[in-house]
Chain A
Amino acid sequence: KAGVTQTPRYLIKTRGQQVTLSCSPISGHRSVSWYQQTPGQGLQFLFEYFSETQRNKGNFPGRFSGRQFSNSRSEMNVSTLELGDSALYLCASSLLGSANNEQFFGPGTRLTVL
């Protein structure tokens, strides 16, 4: 069974631009969660989608948004990029939701904002 895939793996953007990251969950998994990982703050929860609906949301500004498609693939978008948005963005899929099921993480997208 293929694991969680994330594209692109690396991305360089400049301040003010916007970016879209993509995540394909494990086949059959309906939940996708997104996390931001930085050396200073560690792993921070962004949001979780289940069956195309946002189920939960972390404490990030509205510049961070996401969506999930009918095939469970998910995208997250960051608008008006800031230097502090440089991070590893991880997505994780689970069968029915992160609250009660094991999450499987992808390798992440490394975003650098210049």
Chain B
Amino acid sequence: GENVEQHPSTLSVQEGDSAVIKCTYSDSASNYFPWYKQELGKGPQLIIDIRSNVGEKKDQRIAVTLNKTAKHFSLHITETQPEDSAVYFCAARGRDDKIIFGKGTRLHILP
């Protein structure tokens, strides 16, 4: 089945700087890659997703890139703000239609 690796597990960046989180997947048939943000005491919330027929997608300060050949995808957050502090999860949908999540990245925005 699908396996998703996510790095780093913890990331600290100065407010206003950019943050990058990287994920790799194993199933070459995977074609849907969502990213979720989880704040303390809440369930994960979808922030952006990308499908395999697209190489990049952007939504304001958030962008995701996908490299199908290398089987990796990344989340980019620019001009980080205090409210960006949270745990971020990447995920991939495998050929069996299951959504498999990475282990998460705890992002700290430093003042």
Whether chain B is bound by chain A comes out as yes
A-to-B contact residues, CB < 8 Å: 4, 33, 35, 42-45, 55-56, 58, 90, 92, 97-100, 102-108
Interface footprint category on B: 20 to 34
Least CB distance from A2 to B in Å reads 14
* 17 sample A-B contacts, Cβ–Cβ < 8 Å, listed by A number: A33-B99, A42-B101, A42-B102, A42-B103, A43-B89, A43-B91, A45-B98, A45-B99, A45-B100, A45-B101, A56-B97, A98-B99, A99-B93, A102-B46, A103-B46, A105-B44, A107-B42
Known: A42-B103, A99-B32, A99-B93. A107 touches B98 (CB 8 A): no
SS class, residues of chain B in contact with chain A:
strand
A56 touches B96 (CB 8 A): yes
Number of A-B contacts (CB under 8 A): 51
Partner of A43, one of B32, B44, B93: B44
Query: Is B41 an interface residue, CB under 8 A from the partner?
Result: yes
Contact B44 A99 (CB under 8 A): no
* CB atoms of A4 and B49 under 8 A apart: no
